[in-house]
Amino acid sequence: GKGEWVVGKVSWECWRLAEMQIKVVPLGAGQDVGKSCILVTMGGKNILLDSGMHPGYNDERRFPDFRYISREGNMNGLIDLVIISHFHLDHCGSLPYFTEICGYSGPIYATHPTKAIMPILLEDYRKISVERRGVDEKDFFTSQMIKDCMLKITPCALEETIVIEPDFEIRAYYA
């Protein structure tokens, strides 16, 4: 079976060579612009497509509701893979929160340009939120958390096939 998502300018394709059902649950951006975060279950795998932020909120509504995945906060074993479609903050702005505060340490994939530009935008977003908007830093991620998060991302080239398992592959394309 094949699942394909087009988000922004990059199209991601996932292959699972078996019969499957696909379940899609928006954790953000379901009825709104911003905070893109979609939980896709296919072939027994839970894939998080994007982990964005909403620019209009300074409270807990700024990030996706990750409690849908786990109220205890341990995301490992519940999410098999995270794919970041592109570097816009509404698609990657909560990734350091998800990895460093919610505790996800599994595989994360993004294209090389996305991984290169993401930390610059995330640091700018952090500074504006904490220093200008007055968001309490204990409810946000730090500069070090951004750096730690970036170390967890595996960059890939466009049209490069990434084999997650023998019967499960992902590949990024320009959309």
Q: What is the mean pLDDT of residues 46-54?
A: 94
Mean pLDDT of the chain: 86
Percent of the chain with pLDDT over 90: 53
52 with 32: CB under 8 angstroms? no
pLDDT band with cut points at 50, 70 and 90 for residue 18: low
pLDDT band with cut points at 50, 70 and 90 for residue 28: confident
Tell me whether strands 108-111 and 153-156 are parallel, antiparallel or unpaired.
parallel
Closest to 168 (Cα-Cα) out of 38, 44, 23, 26: 44
172 with 12: CB under 8 angstroms? yes
- Please tell me the distance from the alpha carbon of residue 36 to that of residue 105, in angstroms, as a whole number: 20
Predicted pLDDT at 3: 53
Predicted pLDDT at 6: 47
Closest to 92 (Cα-Cα) out of 54, 139, 143: 54
Phi/psi at 167 (5° precision): -115, 25
Q: What is the mean pLDDT of residues 102-129?
A: 95
pTM of the model: 0.86
Predicted pLDDT at 13: 58
Q: Sign of the C-alpha dihedral, residues 122, 128, 129, 135?
A: positive
- Please tell me the distance from the alpha carbon of residue 88 to that of residue 65, in angstroms, as a whole number: 19
Which tokens hold the place of 152?
């967890």
